[in-house]
């Protein structure tokens, strides 16, 4: 059987405890993407300064919402969301009955960031781990994720606009002011880029994967070589 389970991911369930509770409205006012429409979407929870605290995918499950996030950050994300919940009647907890699955190729459930990333779905948390295969596949397409790669960077420097991780037409959310200003001014001076490990700059390195011979650097636009750029990063976004 082909391994599909991403054991490095966890699923957080948000459930309204009152029929009148607007669950999507709650999350809509916090995260970078539009969760009022079709799901799943990739999104982030930012600091007021517009820097990444957490990134995740948001899924729909009837009246509930599901957050597909890094397992190592799940409890911290729950704590942060609970701070914003205040007195709202919303349950927020890890759902141990669900796991995140992935496989390469085309199909009915493409990753909302980039179809080339393959199929992604939620299901029983059973099966063999596909984490190593997922990492290699993701990096081969120049896509970054998680606290170690994105944490404390400005969201647009993480290629969020190009990977469908932000809505510029929705209402306010935490960190929107700096994010919208950067977009309006076309002022993205640095970007995350996957580079060969041998060419990585230790001063700009966010993560290294010696087994794959790759690293993730946070480089100034003028220092990014053309051969490092993935196909999905449009020429107008490279300059």
CA distance 219 to 147: 17
Kindly state whether residue 169 falls inside one of the protein's structural domains: yes
Q: Give me the pLDDT at residue 238, please.
A: 42
Q: What is the C-alpha to C-alpha distance for residues 23 and 2, in angstroms, rounded to an integer?
A: 36
pTM exceeds 0.75 for this model = yes
167 found inside a domain:
yes
Encode the chain (239 residues) as per-residue pLDDT tens digits: 689 999 999 999 999 999 999 999 999 999 999 999 999 999 999 999 999 999 999 999 999 999 999 999 999 999 999 999 999 999 999 999 999 999 999 999 999 999 999 999 999 999 999 999 999 999 999 999 999 999 999 999 999 999 999 999 998 999 999 999 988 888 789 999 999 999 999 999 999 999 999 999 999 999 999 999 999 986 544 44
The contacts of residue 23 (CB under 8 Å, 6+ apart) are 14, 15, 16, 63, 64, 65, 90
186: number of Cβ within 10 Å: 10
Domain membership of residue 1 (yes or no) is no
In a domain, 226, yes or no: yes
At 155 the pLDDT is 97
Burial class (CB in 10 A: 0-12, 13-18, 19+), 237: middle
Answer yes or no: is 2 within a domain.
no
How many alpha carbons fall within 13 Å on the CB side of residue 203?
A: 2
As for how many domains the chain has, the answer is 1
Instruction: Supply the range of the domain harboring residue 58.
Output: 9-233
**Per-residue pLDDT reduced to its tens digit, 111-128:** 999 999 999 999 999 999
Q: What is the CATH number of the domain that holds 170?
A: 3.30.1360.120
Cα separation of 132 and 52, whole Å? 24
3-35: b or e for each residue (b if 16 or more CB lie within 10 Å)?
bbbbebbbbbbbbbeeeeeebbebbbbbbbbbb
Give per-residue pLDDT as tens, 128-159.
Answer: 999 999 999 999 999 999 999 999 999 999 99
Give the H/E segment covering residue 237: helix 235-238
């Amino acid at each position: 059987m082909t391994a599909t389970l991403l054991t490095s991911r966890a699923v957080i369930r948000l459930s309204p405890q009152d029929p009148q509770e607007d669950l999507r409205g709650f999350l809509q006012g916090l995260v970078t993407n539009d969760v009022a429409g079709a799901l799943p979407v990739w999104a982030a929870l930012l600091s007021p300064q517009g820097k990444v605290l957490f990134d995740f995918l948001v899924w729909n499950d009837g009246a509930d919402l599901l957050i597909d996030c890094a397992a190592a950050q799940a409890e911290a994300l729950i704590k942060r969301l609970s701070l914003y919940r205040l007195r709202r009647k919303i349950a927020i907890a890890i759902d141990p009955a669900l796991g995140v699955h992935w496989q390469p190729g085309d199909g009915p459930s493409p990753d909302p960031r980039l179809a080339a990333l393959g199929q992604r779905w939620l299901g029983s948390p059973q099966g063999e781990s596909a984490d190593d295969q997922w990492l290699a596949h993701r990096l081969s397409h120049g896509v970054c994720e998680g606290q170690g790669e994105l944490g404390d960077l400005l969201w647009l420097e993480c290629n969020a606009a190009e990977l469908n991780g932000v809505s510029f037409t929705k209402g306010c959310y935490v960190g929107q002011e700096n994010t919208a200003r950067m977009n309006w001014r076309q002022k993205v001076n640095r970007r995350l880029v996957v580079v060969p490990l041998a060419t990585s700059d230790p001063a700009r390195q966010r993560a290294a994967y010696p087994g794959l011979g790759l690293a993730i650097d946070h480089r100034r636009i003028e220092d990014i070589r053309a051969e490092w750029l993935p196909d999905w990063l449009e020429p107008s976004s490279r300059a």
